[in-house]
Each structure stands twice: as structure tokens, then as C-alpha cells.
């Protein structure tokens, strides 16, 4: 069986999903071209997908079981700025998995044509056999999931949690620094405490999860200081969450212009 794994690695995942490729199947790269810029990148991608890259002339004994692959990291955090390539890298990491649950934390795009185009672009490039769920209950999913998760992303999750907890300064997006406690008692300190509790729960679930998870998050601390209290609060909350999740991750990587910078402990 031949397939163009460089172009469509998800087809390998679909074969695994249907039981046509299993643990005793030799998956070997042959006739590799130059669509991947370097041999090191080819080797990296092949390892992600469970594909062996062997020198020309190698004789593969299909009567013997294939080498046991190195298990992937259970928890991966991919950080980057806007249009850095972090979402595409996350999809690449899980492309050859037989099953993946894609977790979308952002708005659906209703009423915003530009955002809707972004959502559709993400959806169109995902493998057809992946499942998708739109939710902010990340802690619950991390505790209950039985297939790999791709969470995209934590920045929109933090924004949604601020909305759900009515924690924005002033409760109406204003820039007042006094917390803007509203009549319902949920704005200001109470709302911020609720956001902190949600972040604590997410970190605990991330630490305890039994499934493979790849999460995308925004690195928001490299620019100018935001000019509003809401912007500063969002930046600080997401920055602290990124730090805590990175400490609990086997793999944390910064994506810059499509290039990967692993972040060692």
C-alpha cells in the first residue's frame, strides 16, 4: 500500500482508525522528495507519524515486527504569536493518530464574517475523521477523554472564562482600575477569584490527564503593555497560566515564523 504521507498524513491515521495499519505493520518512507526543507525535519515529522525513514538500499524484513516507536509526550504546550504557525504545528503533531478530538474554545463566528472565515479555514484543513467539540469545560474533558485531544486554544479559553465569570474590569469592558464591582456582586474581585479557580482546575486536570493532549496558546507578553485594564488582566492571567502548564508538560515549544524552539526545563 502506498500513500503520500507528506501531503496527507491524516490518511495514515484513517488507516489506523479502520484497523488496516496496526502495531505489526511496517510503515516506511520511500521515494521521499524535497517538500520538507531538511532531512532533520523529515525525520521529525516521520517520528511524529510513526513512519520509519531508512537509508536507500535498506532491506526491510516484514516477517519481523517493526521497531517499537518512542512514545510521544503526553502533554504538549505550543506557544506562539499570531500567525506563527502554532495551530498548524499542533495539527501536524496528531495528524497520523487514528482518533482525535479537536477542542475549539473560541466563538463560532456567528455575526462576524471575518472570524467565520478563520473558523472555516481551520475546519477545512482538519482531517475529516476527527471529531470536533466547542466547549470551555477543558478540565472536564481532560479528566474524561479517552482519545487524544487538540485544544485550540487557551487564549480564547481565558477570554471566554472572563466572560463567564463577569470578571472584566468594570464588568462592561471599561478601563476602571477599581474592579468595577457591579450590583450583582460578580464583577471585580469575585469574578477574578472565579477565573483563578477555573485556571487552578485546568492545571490540575492537565497534570492528571491520562490521554495525549496538544494545546495551543498565545504568547502575549512580547509586545507593548496593553493600554487598558482589561488587556493587562488578560495578558497577566494567560501568561501565568502558560507558565503553570509548561511546568506540567513533557514538551513545551515556542513557534516563531513556523520554526520550533523547544523550551527545556
DSSP SS3 for 29: strand
Active-site annotation holder among 26, 34, 122, 129 = 122
- Please, what is the angle between helix 39-49 and helix 9-17, to 10°? 20
129 is catalytic: no
**For residue 251, what are the β-bridge partners?**
76
DSSP SS3 for 75: strand
Contact 230, 147 (CB under 8 A): no
> Is the Cα torsion angle 154, 156, 159, 160 positive or negative in sign?
negative
Report whether the peptide linkage leading into residue 153 is cis, meaning its omega lies within 30 degrees of zero. yes
Q: How far apart, in whole angstroms, are the C-alpha atoms of residue 174 and residue 227? A: 11
Q: How far apart, in whole angstroms, are the C-alpha atoms of residue 238 and residue 217? A: 8
Contact 86, 79 (CB under 8 A): yes
Residues assigned a catalytic role: 122
Amino acid at each position: 500500500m502506498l500513500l503520500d504521507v507528506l501531503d496527507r498524513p491524516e490518511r495514515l491515521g484513517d488507516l489506523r482508525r479502520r484497523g488496516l495499519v496496526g502495531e505489526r505493520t511496517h510503515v516506511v518512507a520511500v521515494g521521499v522528495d524535497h517538500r520538507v526543507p531538511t532531512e532533520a525535519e523529515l525525520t521529525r515529522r516521520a517520528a511524529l507519524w510513526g513512519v520509519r525513514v531508512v537509508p536507500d538500499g535498506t532491506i526491510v524484513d516484514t516477517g519481523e515486527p517493526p521497531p517499537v516507536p518512542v512514545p510521544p509526550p503526553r502533554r504538549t504546550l505550543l506557544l506562539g504569536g499570531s500567525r506563527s504557525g502554532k495551530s498548524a504545528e499542533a495539527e501536524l503533531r496528531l495528524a497520523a493518530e487514528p482518533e482525535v478530538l479537536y477542542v475549539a474554545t473560541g466563538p463560532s463566528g456567528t455575526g462576524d464574517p471575518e472570524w467565520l472565515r478563520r473558523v472555516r479555514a481551520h475546519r477545512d484543513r482538519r482531517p475529516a475523521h476527527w471529531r470536533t467539540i466547542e466547549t470551555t469545560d477543558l478540565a472536564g474533558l481532560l479528566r474524561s477523554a479517552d482519545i487524544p485531544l487538540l485544544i485550540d486554544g487557551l487564549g480564547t479559553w481565558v477570554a471566554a472564562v472572563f466572560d463567564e465569570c463577569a470578571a472584566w474590569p468594570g464588568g462592561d469592558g471599561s478601563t476602571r482600575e477599581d474592579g468595577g464591582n457591579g450590583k450583582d456582586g460578580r464583577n471585580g474581585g469575585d469574578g477574578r477569584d472565579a477565573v483563578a479557580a477555573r485556571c487552578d482546575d485546568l492545571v490540575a486536570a492537565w497534570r492528571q490527564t491520562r490521554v495525549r493532549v496538544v494545546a495551543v496558546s498565545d504568547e502575549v507578553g512580547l509586545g507593548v503593555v496593553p493600554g487598558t485594564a482589561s488587556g493587562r488582566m488578560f495578558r497577566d492571567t494567560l501568561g501565568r497560566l502558560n507558565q503553570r502548564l509548561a511546568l506540567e508538560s513533557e514538551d513545551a515549544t515556542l513557534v516563531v515564523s513556523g520554526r520550533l524552539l523547544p523550551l527545556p526545563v
